[in-house]
Structure 1
């Protein structure tokens, strides 16, 4: 990737390799960029390196080689505290398990990143974040009083409250039924279309991937092509081809 083009993307990985003990290579010379205001799904067979790529791209794990740039900042140049601050202030995370604190209300869960940053939570901002995910009237409810889809929406609102440059999602609909998954995916699509949010989502679901602008396929730690404006049928066909090739 031309270094000048790094300025035109929200996240850029250049020649990224990640090796673990015993010679296991999870990522092998991966170069890819994610443009601002776009929705990208990352797919691949089990063990393809998609979760490792997400962790390296989000600054949760450092690559063995190569460069990762988020919001114009080279992660390799950041000290641990600087990286922590970048993750806290400029990166949002959504996980399959929601990770909400059961003793806190929806508003308190959404405001938690602000409290951890030593900032007094702005109730208007918190309520705005909940309204953006369709939960304006649920702020006083605790997770146990909410459905799975509503809990995931609270988790999305929590990820959005710091106005992140990039939102990373790791199987965000994996614990939801089909109807609820569709609602969450439509919400993510809306965040991109109406608010120019950048989203990078790892998924194994072809239907989920079809909500993205682009699907990137990994196999054996390398990028094996991509689809633009994907349909679920095309994604499923490509996945079958990759899985057959990896057997």
Structure 2
């Protein structure tokens, strides 16, 4: 099991009282699988992803990634582990505007004090179809190209898992299809493990399975469903929510 969440809880203190974002989630993500997480707004999707990636600390429960329990790591150890074993792709790309595509891909390694092999950077950019754009800065790239650079950066360290939070949310339909096809290929051809948060049934249908989250709990699971079936299940769930 590449990632395993056991009895994961996350609460926040708000003006109106304690808010429960995750309520005892237990779920695993196998190696070389593609999982989509869906649910109504406020259901805890992004919180689950952030806790699983070590970006937020759960209130209780455990997160195990590649055999390592994240809660047992100190601050510096967790930072190193995230950098080496966890990839993360954001909706807004999070590229450094003053750096080229190649420099953005190599940035995590450089921040770790390691030399990034130029051939390896070129290879990972080639894997996302952007070897010929390595010297271009983000402003010289389309939104889809910027997201592919972000995916290349997430893949550069060959992480155990890649978490993606609405990676196609800011892209048009055709570009979204390109990104999703790329992510599907990374699973099928390169054995990557991808966990995707999305609100789009078309995006979710690309995954091997879809987890449905309501009120911080996994309430349903679909495997091999097409976009229409996912949309119907989401509609029914939102009506009852």
Superposed counterparts of 1:30-179, under 5 Å: 30-179=25-174
1:4 aligns with none
* 3-state DSSP of counterpart to 1:155: helix
Residues in 2 aligned to 1:69 and 1:170: alpha-carbon distance in whole angstroms: 19
Give the deviation of 1:242 after TM superposition: 1.2
Give the deviation of 1:81 after TM superposition: 1.0
Q: Deviation digits for residues 85-119 of structure 1, max 9, x if unmatched?
A: 11011000100100111111111111101101100
Superposed counterparts of 1:217-232, under 5 Å: 217-232=212-227
Q: Deviation digits for residues 118-164 of structure 1, max 9, x if unmatched?
A: 00110000000100000111101111111110110001001111111
Residues in 1 aligned to 2:108 and 2:123: alpha-carbon distance in whole angstroms: 15
* 3-state DSSP of counterpart to 1:150: helix
Q: Deviation digits for residues 27-72 of structure 1, max 9, x if unmatched?
A: 0011000000000000000011111100111111111111110010
Count how many residue pairs are aligned between Structure 1 and Structure 2: 238
Give the deviation of 1:182 after TM superposition: 0.1
Give the TM-score normalised by the residue count of structure 2.
0.98
* 3-state DSSP of counterpart to 2:195: strand
Superposition CA RMSD, Å: 0.6
1:20 aligned residue (12, 29, 51):
12
Consecutive unaligned residues in structure 1, runs of 5 or more: 1-8
Give the TM-score normalised by the residue count of structure 1.
0.95
Consecutive unaligned residues in structure 2, runs of 5 or more: none
* 3-state DSSP of counterpart to 1:233: helix
2:231 aligned residue (236, 239, 247):
236
Residues in 2 aligned to 1:176 and 1:55: alpha-carbon distance in whole angstroms: 22
2:181 aligned residue (177, 181, 186):
186
Question: Where does structure 1 differ by over 2 angstroms across 4 or more consecutive aligned residues?
Answer: none
